[in-house]
Chains A and B, each alone.
Chain A
Amino acid sequence: MSATRPLTTQHVAQATVQPQDNGLRLENISKHFTSAGADTQLHVLDNVQLDIAPGEFITIVGASGCGKSTLLRLILGLDEAFDGRILLDDKPIRGTGLERGIVFQDHRLFPWLTVEQNVAVGLKNAPLSAAQKRETVREHIQLVGLQDFTESYPHQISGGMAQRVAIARGLVNRPSVLLLDEPFGALDALTRTRLQRELQHIWQQEKITMVHVTHDVDEAVYLGDRVVVMQPHPGRIRRIVDVDLPRPRNRSDARFIALRDDVLSDFAELS
């Protein structure tokens, strides 16, 4: 699928609104972990159902242990032992694939590669010529504003910059879905806010589906078209909140605060 995808950003913008694109569909996802030695099974996910439209920004929020990161790993294809079906464009996913990008909480850059080479890791198995790869890498480094740091190594740049490199790596294949697993969780408040805004900007520009897992309700409401609230034991969807506010959102807007407090109240009940 990524093979037929055109290269320039403008083309992608047109391509993603094609009607045959049916988005990401999670059907009755259940997941158990068997602890070694013991007969007991840990029920991590219970019957999760979710339809994600193409180009939609979904945020999944929940307390630790609610299975939100596990769900993301299943969508990514790192873990294939689960019940239910995950469909992308009506085709069940099998293993990992270049049409699904990922940004982890820890940037997971290769310490022995430069920024440029780290972004190119995403393209390693892409069906592109070397020149096309170079160009695509350059574009994506520009997209995250790191053109002055292409030759730097991960230990030479800040945590926020490293996470931007990880976002560029996640996007470099022009995936139809970008999965983000608490990508800003380890950053300081100032950097986090700036990156949230940048991510939203990138999303608006690239028009791809984003599934963003976070434990920060504020972040979830700020970024998401819909906020999926999950609850633990076993992990399941509690409810889905539509965020019908214009972007960029204003965190001190009365409607924003009302929505955020509404989502927060779910957690107050749970604890």
Chain B
Amino acid sequence: MARATAEALDRQHLPAKNLAPVKRLPNAPTRPARRVAVPKSTKAWQTRAANIALAWLLPVALLGLWYIGTERGWLSEQVLPPPAFVYQTLGDLVSSGDLWLNASASLQRVVVGFLIGSALGVALGLAMGLSKTVEDYLLPTFNALVQIPVLGWMPFALLLFGIGEPLKYVLIAHAALVPVTLCTLQAFHEVPKRLLEVGRAYGFSQRQIVTDIVLPSAVAPIFTGLRLGFTKAWLSLVVVELLASSEGLGYLIAYSRQLFQLDLVMAAVVVVGTIGLLIDRGFEFIERRLNRGRPVKTGRLA
């Protein structure tokens, strides 16, 4: 079969032979077009709308359950304030400016801590990725130290850095550092050998191999590490603020718990979740753009 096609194609380039003129078939008689019923296909926007609706199903159901629960008095109003009350508290928080005050304090901490931590993480990952010796020296210790949670470092860090801003920066940076370092190192371990050989074949220097092959192919995995690192930083921010601060979203939660204002607690929790989600979406968006043009396309079962 393959050979038959090959021969047919080759012949196109051979000098034309004298062939007998081909008899043309008469034109087919024209027929009136027939209408055929085509089943209506689901349009793309309909599918998308359905997916979005699915994503909202669970939160809406939970909200409904919350509403019914408070309505029926399953839990006392002090423990579980009704949604309308929490919504009102949220409104008050916004109009009084408290929300902005606390959210901006938190955001500033997380941004500073995350920048420090991820910069260190990328540097550490690069160092270990570029030098096997550095990796052999550092990685085992690093792996041991990362097993200690933020809360475990807290007492020691409190003594070392006091209770001020440096403490928050250090603990948030530490949280971001771990995933960023590991993902960067992983990116270096997974540089395709096939492409490295191309570099060698065209006489790339060690430096060109790093800047022109290793780094470009590592960009997307490093970014995945940054995204993970931010999530960790955001989570540990709230923990740090719960324990030691006088403003911030975590502080708002701790403070209102002490006053037994559960509506305020719920409102702050909603804000923490929303900001975290929005930033993560932003990272995901950039990540997807970076991954565009990657040869590997993943499939899914269903």
Contact = CB atoms under 8 A, between A and B. Distances in A.
Interface of A: 76-78, 96-98, 100-102, 104, 106, 108, 110-112, 121-122, 124-125, 153-156, 173, 189-190, 192-194, 197, 218, 248-252
Contacts of A77: 201
Given A108-B194, A125-B204, 20 more contacts: A96-B201, A96-B203, A108-B195, A108-B197, A111-B293, A112-B217, A121-B198, A121-B212, A125-B205, A154-B293, A155-B293, A155-B294, A189-B2, A190-B5, A193-B9, A197-B10, A197-B13, A248-B13, A250-B7, A251-B6
Contacts of B205: 125
B295 A124 contact: no
A181 B9 CA distance: 24
B201 A197 contact: no
A256 B6 CA distance: 13
B200 interface: yes
Interface string B1-21: 111011101110110000000
A218 B3 contact: yes
A98 B203 contact: yes
B202 A189 contact: no
A193 B205 CA distance: 37
A125 B203 contact: yes
For the complex of A and B, the 4 pairs showing the least CB-CB separation, nearest first, are: A189-B2, A193-B6, A125-B203, A153-B293
Nearest to A106: B194
B217 to A, nearest CB: 7
B202 A122 contact: yes
Contacts of A112: 216-217, 219, 293
Nearest to B290: A112
Contacts of A251: 3, 6-7, 10
Given A96-B200, A111-B295, A194 B9 contact: yes
A121 B295 contact: no
A197 B219 CA distance: 39
Size bin of chain B's contact surface: 20 to 34
B208 interface: yes
B208 A124 contact: yes
A125 B202 contact: yes
Most buried by A among B1, B3, B195, B203: B203
B3 A110 contact: no
> B-side binding surface: helix, strand, loop or mixed?
helix
B157 interface: no
A15 B275 CA distance: 67
B5 A193 contact: yes
> A-side binding surface: helix, strand, loop or mixed?
loop
Given A112-B217, A251-B10, A252-B7, A78 B204 contact: no
Contacts of A173: 202
B197 to A, nearest CB: 6
10 contacts: A101-B201, A111-B293, A111-B294, A121-B212, A153-B293, A156-B293, A190-B5, A193-B10, A197-B10, A197-B13
A189 B6 contact: yes
Interface in B197-234: 197-198, 200-205, 208, 212-213, 216-217, 219
Contacts of B197: 78, 104, 108
Given A112-B217, A155-B294, A102 B201 contact: yes
B167 to A, nearest CB: 40
Most buried by A among B3, B198, B208: B198
A190 B205 CA distance: 39
Nearest to B10: A251
Contacts of A249: 10
A218 B6 contact: yes
B205 to A, nearest CB: 8
A197 B10 CA distance: 8
Interface string B119-145: 000000000000000000000000000
A96 B13 CA distance: 37
Contacts of A121: 198, 202, 212
A233 to B, nearest CB: 26
Contacts of B10: 193, 197, 248-251
Nearest to A118: B198
A122 B202 CA distance: 6
A124 to B, nearest CB: 6
A49 to B, nearest CB: 25
A104 B219 CA distance: 25
A141 B92 CA distance: 65
B161 to A, nearest CB: 41
Interface string B237-273: 0000000000000000000000000000000000000
A110 B202 contact: no
B211 to A, nearest CB: 11
B286 to A, nearest CB: 15
Contact of B295 (A96, A125, A154): A154
Given A96-B203, A125-B203, A197-B13, A108 B6 contact: no
A155 B194 contact: no
A84 B194 CA distance: 26
A252 B7 CA distance: 7
Contacts of A108: 194-195, 197-198
